[in-house]
Amino acid sequence: MRFIAGAFAFLAVAFVPVVATAQQQQAAVNQTKQIPEAKQSWPQEAALKGDYPRGAIIVNVTERRLYYSLGDGKALMYRVAVGKTGFGWTGQSWVSMKTKNPAWYPTARMQAAGAPRYVAPGPNNPLGVRALYLGWSEYRIHGTNAPHSIGSASSSGCFRMINEDVTDLFERVAIGAPVYVVQ
């Protein structure tokens, strides 16, 4: 019995350094991996390419990112979903209206495809908790009830954001702010 206990103690001491070394190696690997995007904090500070005025919104469709210009080539960067094939657009607009807890009135085209005539504010509303209306168009920058769609090309031309992100942007942006949608 003493032999078995002694052999066990020897094996335990012999393998402890190997386990510690393996844990140290795994920790080193984890430090070199990038943090998954979903676990990063948003918005993030970023350099802004181009000469945009302070308070402008720039949506880069290719990057699927929205930038809020802080001036001097700096911006806050947010994740967005963009228009699906055939619904994307580029150009310039402005923030014409801001709404908390918006109701959704789908367009006639959306209704013909099966959307309801009206969706009240709440968890089933695809506009989420905030909406920034763009110019005189049907397009908006808004929250979502489908956060998994962020980073995709899945909308009918609007720009979707995580509800926490659009709430942050909503508080920063002014009515009349220019909006640039670029490739």
pLDDT of residue 23: 43
Q: Which ranges of 33-116 does DSSP label H, i.e. alpha helix?
A: 108-112
Q: The tokens 């795994």 sit on which residue?
A: 26
Per-residue pLDDT reduced to its tens digit, 90-139: 999 999 999 999 999 999 999 999 999 999 999 999 999 999 999 998 89
Per-residue pLDDT reduced to its tens digit, 65-78: 999 999 999 999 99
Rounded (10°) CA dihedral 89, 91, 96, 102: 20
pLDDT of residue 37: 59
Q: Which ranges of 33-148 does DSSP label H, i.e. alpha helix?
A: 108-112
Q: Which residues are catalytic?
A: 142, 158
Please check whether residue 94 is in contact with residue 137, taking contact to mean a CB–CB distance below 8 angstroms: no
pTM over the 0.85 mark? no
